[in-house]
């Protein structure tokens, strides 16, 4: 089946990014969410980012209009009847994702593939909730989606080779590189990164270096664009915390035990840039070290 129309369910941070790269790749895109205001917010983000590309002369204004013209907005799950491929990017909640796929099972043509952008929910659990376990797959994008080049492609237990190939082809058309990863807790990148971050937390707690110096050392010594604490604030401290929880529950390996100091930050509501405070203080509009934390 030729894939012409991609429906993206959830128009938040990831969904909007996925809708953008899908439209840029030439697909017709249906953006969906529970409220039109949320879809509009995602759509406006795309329009703003494309406007920036026009200003930098990366694309023409005619190209921008063509890309935006490929996007249809709909709050109706039934809009999926016109879709050839579904990418789910709703909240990270098993019941929500299961109910989305179960609803789509009755709306979509039986050939349609269901891809989930979940960070932590087993793809096999989602596949088992549908009548099409051979056509369910993980398609794990990284934030910000228009910038980050990797997509982890995660076959579930019964995912067909055809489903995997189709998903890889779509990701390639979106300009992404793919790696095939087994359906294991944390998949590959989050698992490897958590082990690395856990070591950085240990260094902080042992006083090996200050928080700011750990960030500086990792950037300059390993050529990472952001240090682990800067990155945690950028992504959201609660997201990193939840990754540790998933990995710890999945592997029972003490190296993945959620660091207590991170838990304290999360329960205090210091979720990073979006709340103004995380490992750093952003309330002045600039990134400043925090002096109030009892680490
Ligand atoms: N944020 C990241 O860095 C990141 C990276 C990779 C994967 N993910 C995964 O991507 C998914 C989305 O994350 P996000 O950061 O974009 O979240 P977000 O909160 O920004 O967006 C989620 C959107 O889904 C919508 N939604 C909830 N239930 C829905 C339903 N039943 N139907 C349609 N829309 C619904 C919400 O209204 C919201 O707009 C999650 O599974 C997350 O784990 C996130």
Task: Give 244-291 as a DSSP string.
Answer: HHHHHHHH--GGGSPPHHHHHHHHTT--BGGGTBSSEE-TTSS-EE-S
Strands (E), 20-174: 28-32, 71-74, 85-88, 113-116, 136-141, 150-155
Handedness of CA 234, 236, 241, 242 (dihedral sign): negative
Residue 76 pLDDT = 97
Could you report how far apart the first and last alpha carbons of the chain are, in Å?
Answer: 56
Contact 153, 174 (CB under 8 A): no
13 CA to centre of ligand 1 in angstroms: 7
Which residues surround ligand 1 with Cβ inside 6 Å? 9-15, 32-34, 38, 89-92, 96, 100, 117-119, 140-143, 235
118 CA to centre of ligand 1 in angstroms: 8
- The secondary structure element, H or E, covering residue 6 is strand 5-9
Choose which residue among 30, 34, 91 to substitute to test ligand 1 binding: the one with the highest number of ligand atoms within 8 A of its C-beta: 91
- The secondary structure element, H or E, covering residue 9 is strand 5-9
Residue minimizing CA distance to atom 33 of ligand 1: 33
Rg (CA), the chain: 20
- For the chain of 295 residues, list the mean pLDDT of each consecutive stretch of 10: 96 97 98 98 98 97 98 98 98 96 97 96 97 98 97 98 98 98 97 97 96 98 97 94 95 96 97 97 97 91
Residues marked active site are found at: 119, 140, 152, 190
- Domains, the chain: 5-180 (3.40.50.720), 191-285 (1.10.1040.10)
How far is Cα 216 from Cα 230, in angstroms, rounded to an integer?
A: 10
How far is Cα 259 from Cα 25, in angstroms, rounded to an integer?
A: 40
Contact 14, 117 (CB under 8 A): yes
| DSSP assignments along 225-247, one per residue | SS-HHHHHHHH-HHHHHHHHHHH
Nearest atom in ligand 1 to 11's CA: 39
238 CA to centre of ligand 1 in angstroms: 14
Residue 1 pLDDT = 82
Handedness of CA 239, 75, 125, 153 (dihedral sign): negative
Residue 253 pLDDT = 97
How far is Cα 59 from Cα 112, in angstroms, rounded to an integer?
A: 32
3-state secondary structure 146-211: CCCCEEEEEECCCCCHHHHHHHHHHHHHCCCEEEECCCCCCCCHHHHHHHHHHHHHHHHHHCCCCH
How far is Cα 120 from Cα 92, in angstroms, rounded to an integer?
A: 8
């Amino acid at each position: 089946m030729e894939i012409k129309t991609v429906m993206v369910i959830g128009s938040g941070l990831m969904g909007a990014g996925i809708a953008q790269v899908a439209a840029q790749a030439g697909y017709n895109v249906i953006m969906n969410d529970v409220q039109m205001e949320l879809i509009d917010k995602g759509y406006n983000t795309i329009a703003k980012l494309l406007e920036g590309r026009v200003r930098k002369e990366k694309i023409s204004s005619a190209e921008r209009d063509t890309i935006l013209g490929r996007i249809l907005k709909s709050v109706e799950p039934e809009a999926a009847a016109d879709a050839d491929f579904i990418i789910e990017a709703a909240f990270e909640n098993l019941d929500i994702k299961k109910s989305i796929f179960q609803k789509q099972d009755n709306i979509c043509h039986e050939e349609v593939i269901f891809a989930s952008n979940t960070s932590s929910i087993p793809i096999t659990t989602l596949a088992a909730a549908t009548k099409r376990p051979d056509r369910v797959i993980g398609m794990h994008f990284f934030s910000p989606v228009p910038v980050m080049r990797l997509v982890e492609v995660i076959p579930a237990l019964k995912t067909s080779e055809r489903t995997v190939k189709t998903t890889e082809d779509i990701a390639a058309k979106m300009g992404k590189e793919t790696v095939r990863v087994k359906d294991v807790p944390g998949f590959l990148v989050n698992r490897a990164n958590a082990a690395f971050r856990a070591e950085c937390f240990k260094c902080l707690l042992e006083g090996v270096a200050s928080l700011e110096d750990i960030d500086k050392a990792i950037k300059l010594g390993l050529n990472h664009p952001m240090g682990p604490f800067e990155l945690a604030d950028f992504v959201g401290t609660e997201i990193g915390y939840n990754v540790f929880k998933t990995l710890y529950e999945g592997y029972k390996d003490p190296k993945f035990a959620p660091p207590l100091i991170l838990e304290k930050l999360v329960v205090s509501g210091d979720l990073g840039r979006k709340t103004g405070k995380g490992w750093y203080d952003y309330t002045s509009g600039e990134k400043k070290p925090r002096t109030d934390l009892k680490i």
